Amino acid sequence: MFRILIVLTALIYSHSLFAENVRCMGKDPKSWIIPFQTIKQVVKHRSNAMDICLSCEGDSCSMKSWSEEQIKDFNVCKRLFTTPVYLRANSMSELPPKLKRIGKESRNSTYFYYNYSISKEGRVSDIKVTSIFGAGRLSKKEALQLWTIVTEDTFYEPIEIEGKRYEINNCKGVGWFPLRN
């Protein structure tokens, strides 16, 4: 198993990864995206890594848990299955008036953890804000509204193995507000 992941790492990585073993998305959106020239390699290696990285029942999958010592293995799995292929940068101008006002008035950031799913079509779905921290002034409801807007133009390469599509239902991420232009 370990050798397969090392080989996949060497084939796929054109740049270094961020390491957050409990998060499907990191804090830096620029590091989230799979470069276009790498997508075919990612898709090619998913079938070999599916049993290693995912636990599936029918067409619904969950990312497996990894220990701190297995961070490199986890990062390969994250890269293969939960890294977007497209992420449009959103700005303050696209937010509802109340969130714009909070963003302009706030000198401090609010950070929040959220859970989400990746649908069979490769879209973010089922966002749930689990906790909020920091000195900002954002409620869970506002954080959910914000992150729904931010992720509406985030696309993943759909997971398709042997003609069958899968969803991933236990992804976690960290969000922040205010957004900076």
Question: CATH number, domain at 141?
Answer: 3.30.2420.10
Q: Where are the beta strands (DSSP E) in the chain?
A: 54-57, 60-63, 86-87, 110-118, 124-134, 154-155, 159-161, 164-177
Q: Which residue type, as a one-letter code, is found at position 124? A: V
Q: What does the mean pLDDT of the chain come to?
A: 76
pLDDT of residue 127 exceeding 70, the answer is yes
**48-61: pLDDT as tens digits:** 999 999 999 999 99
How far the first Cα of the chain sits from its last, in Å, is 43
User: Does the structure show a pLDDT above 60 at 138?
Assistant: yes
pTM of this structure: 0.75
Q: Which structural domain, as residue segments, surrounds residue 91?
A: 2-177
Question: Do the strands 164-177 and 60-63 form a parallel or antiparallel pair, or are they unpaired?
Answer: parallel
Residue 44 phi/psi, 5° resolution? -60, -35
The Cα–Cα gap between 83 and 179 comes to: 21
Q: Give the pLDDT confidence of 67-85 residue by residue, as tens digits.
A: 889 989 988 898 899 988 8
For residue range 7-37, what is the model confidence (pLDDT) as tens digits?
A: 222 222 322 233 334 456 555 555 567 776 7
Task: Tell whether the model's pLDDT for residue 3 goes beyond 90.
Answer: no
Q: How many domains does the chain have?
A: 1
Radius of gyration of the chain (CA): 17
